[in-house]
């Protein structure tokens, strides 16, 4: 999966109306804002799911290494 595809999937899965509003942006801006939004979703998921700072750090590093950081 490409980084763009990962970001698109992450943003779409959120079910947020923000994602759907991004569809009206020009392609380059849409791509950039979807990447930023996917990053924010990734961080939010870690904050919601993990209480140990060390584990949170590892999860974020593995997510970033995978695709979006």
What confidence tier does 69 reach under pLDDT thresholds 50, 70, 90?
very low
CA distance 22 to 12: 10
Share of the chain above pLDDT 70, in %: 90
pLDDT of the residue at 66? 52
pLDDT digits (tens, 9 = 90+) for 2-24: 989 989 998 998 888 888 899 89
Query: What's the predicted TM-score (pTM) here?
Result: 0.75
Residue 43, CA distances (Å) to 25, 28, 49, 51, 68 in order? 24, 23, 10, 13, 11
pLDDT of residue 1 exceeding 80, the answer is: yes
What is the separation, in whole angstroms, between the first and last Cα of the chain? Answer: 15
Number of other residues whose CB lies within 10 A of the CB of residue 29: 11
């Amino acid at each position: 999966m490409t980084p763009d595809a990962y970001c698109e999937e992450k943003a779409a899965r959120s079910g947020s109306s923000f994602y759907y509003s991004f569809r009206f942006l020009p392609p380059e801006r849409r791509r950039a804002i979807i990447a930023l939004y996917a990053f924010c979703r990734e961080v939010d998921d870690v904050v919601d799911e993990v209480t140990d700072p060390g584990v949170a750090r590892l999860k974020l590093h593995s997510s970033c290494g995978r695709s979006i950081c």
